[in-house]
Structure 1
Amino acid sequence: MNEDSAALTFHPLPANVPRSDAGAPAVIVMPGGGYTFLAPHEGKPVAQWLNRLGFAAWVLEYPVGPQDFHPAPLDCARAAMRQARSRAAGLGVDPSRIGVLGFSAGGHLAAHLAAGPDTADDERPAFAVLCYPATSWQTFGPAAAGEAGTDPLLGPGSTPEKRRAVSIELIAVPQTPPTFIWHCADDDTVGVDHALSLTRRLADMRVPVELHVFPTGGHGIGLAQGTTPAGAWTASCAQWLQRTISPDSLSRHPGVA
């Protein structure tokens, strides 16, 4: 995939927001939608929230089925990170502090980019935020459930071997950057086990990981404004981001380019 093929919409910091001489930290936002569409409430509003926290942001429009299956979304995410870093200086962004934030299927994509064994150094983000992520393809989609239907990520050729190859809790590597994960225990669309199994894998590899599980909230709630108690995720994530993006914190983890 050509670098220019990554459809990124940039949301710069307001002029009155202070930033360091090295540039602002930034996040590539990956909306969810089950790899069949992109949820609008998990895109632009999230970028605007990040702007208020002092982060520049891009929203990535990655390809989805039924026209595009794996590895098209991952190739697009890889191109997006290369593109963001190559353009960072001209946009007032620090190329060493660009992370990813994804919801649901977008959380799977963000996790695959951050934790995948084949991610190149210039493609791996500095940190990752995963929101109710569908990280295990062994338990997601009609093929995994033994039902009729096309796998939204792998297409009609889905097999157990292919599903294992895109299950992040099985393939994550120690180079995975610091990661924040949140989920709701009553999520009936993407079960909380997705978050638990990936957290366990990262913790076993000594990757810095923080997990928040809220008792209620369901799935697909985005910023969850007005939702109790899951709406607290934004405050917890904001605190984690500020701790994580400090140069000293990032320099302690070998997975950060």
Structure 2
Amino acid sequence: MFHRRGALATVAVSLLALGLGPGARAEAVPMADPAETIELWPAGPPGAEAVTAVETVLERGDPKGLRDRALTHIRKPALAVFRPKTPNGAAVMLIPGGGYERVVMDKEGYETARWLADRGYTCFVLFYRLPGDGWSAGPDVPLQDAQRGLRLVRSRAAALGFSANRIAIMGFSAGGHVAASLTTRFSARVYDRIDAVDDLSARPDLSALIYPVITMAAPSVHAGSRKQLLGANPTPEQIQLYSPDRQVGADAPPVFLLHAVDDKSVPVENTLLMFASLKARSIPTEMHVFNEGGHGFGLRFIAGKPVAAWPDLFTGFARQHGL
């Protein structure tokens, strides 16, 4: 797989994303893909009997010539590891988006992981399976990988120099739906125990949902994500179960929410619904809604906009809650 090679790749990272100031110009700089990965399932992922899709890396390109890759038809879900030079004792598991059709690698995965690692966080980018590829668990397949991934991160805490109770998750777009599902359904039994790792809690200690897909109900649903996850005609029961705003429990962790009003892909109402549900349950939450930003901005498309404040807003929220 792509992330098991240590060869140099030209990865696009803006100077702003590297923390070098809002007036800096985007440059293509040579960065190595992470050489350290952790496969989620030692004997292969569960429910693969009907899966025939071939795992593929898409080179999507970018108007500015920046590296922009995505992985489709994931067969061997894994965590790509980013170790900080100076660990701060906390970790973040990043869950990139892709509309449940693909998983973005660079823009919402590797670039954000590098930014956070520069600030002391041990980072793990989750490459999760997609529900349309024939896995027997269907719409619970991404949650299987998220639960297993979080447990694996927790199991490596001592070895990698962070605390097992200082682990955040950060999800973007459809990856935000995966993260929100883990935030609200971390204790749901969606796969059978395979080893001692599964005896650990899958509850994140903090959750960040970045322009997330939340609701599966009209009128604010992201139709593409719902179709990939639940099919063309989901039942009312499926809409209820797979809308994380309807699954918030009293034991949910603190949640950081970010969205832009001018998001044309995932309506800002998704974040507003999640905020209202968290507030109703008295879960510590902080919401930032910016007038301008669009969708999928990550760190790459924020220079010169008010939304450029979001990474520091997140780290401030994380520190406030012990991370």
- Asked if the contact 1:29–1:43 (Cα under 8 Å) also holds between the matched residues in 2, the reply is yes
Of residues 13, 26, 29 in structure 1, which corresponds to 2:91? 26
Of residues 136, 139, 157 in structure 1, which corresponds to 2:215? 136
Of residues 154, 164, 184 in structure 2, which corresponds to 1:85? 154
Give the whole-Å Cα distance in 2 for the aligned partners of 1:72 and 1:161. Answer: 18
- Asked if the contact 1:180–1:209 (Cα under 8 Å) also holds between the matched residues in 2, the reply is yes
> Is residue 47 from structure 1 mapped to residue 116 from structure 2 by the alignment?
no
Matches within 5 A, 1:1-257: 3-4=41-42, 5=45, 6-14=77-85, 17=86, 19=88, 24-40=89-105, 41-67=107-133, 68=135, 69-116=138-185, 118-119=187-188, 122-139=201-218, 140-142=221-223, 151-156=227-232, 158-223=234-299, 224-245=301-322
Shift of 1:214: 0.1
Query: What secondary structure, in the 3-state scheme, does the structure 2 residue paired with 1:151 have?
Result: helix
Stretch of structure 1 that moved more, 232-241 or 194-203: 232-241
Structure 1 residue ranges without an equivalent (≥5): 145-149, 247-257
- Asked if the contact 1:217–1:227 (Cα under 8 Å) also holds between the matched residues in 2, the reply is no
Cα separation, partners in 2 of 1:214 and 1:155, compared to 1, 3 Å: same
Cα separation, partners in 2 of 1:227 and 1:73, compared to 1, 3 Å: farther
Shift of 1:87: 1.6
Shift of 1:161: 2.1
Shift of 1:143: 8.2
Larger radius of gyration: 2
Structure 1 residue ranges, 4+ long, deviating more than 6 angstroms after superposition: none
Matched residue type, 2:212: P
Identical pairs, percent: 33
Normalising by the residue count of structure 2, what TM-score does the alignment of the two structures yield?
0.68
Shift of 1:58: 0.1
- Asked if the contact 2:87–2:121 (Cα under 8 Å) also holds between the matched residues in 1, the reply is no
- Asked if the contact 1:179–1:210 (Cα under 8 Å) also holds between the matched residues in 2, the reply is yes
Q: CA RMSD in A?
A: 2.1
Give the whole-Å Cα distance in 2 for the aligned partners of 1:97 and 1:119. Answer: 21
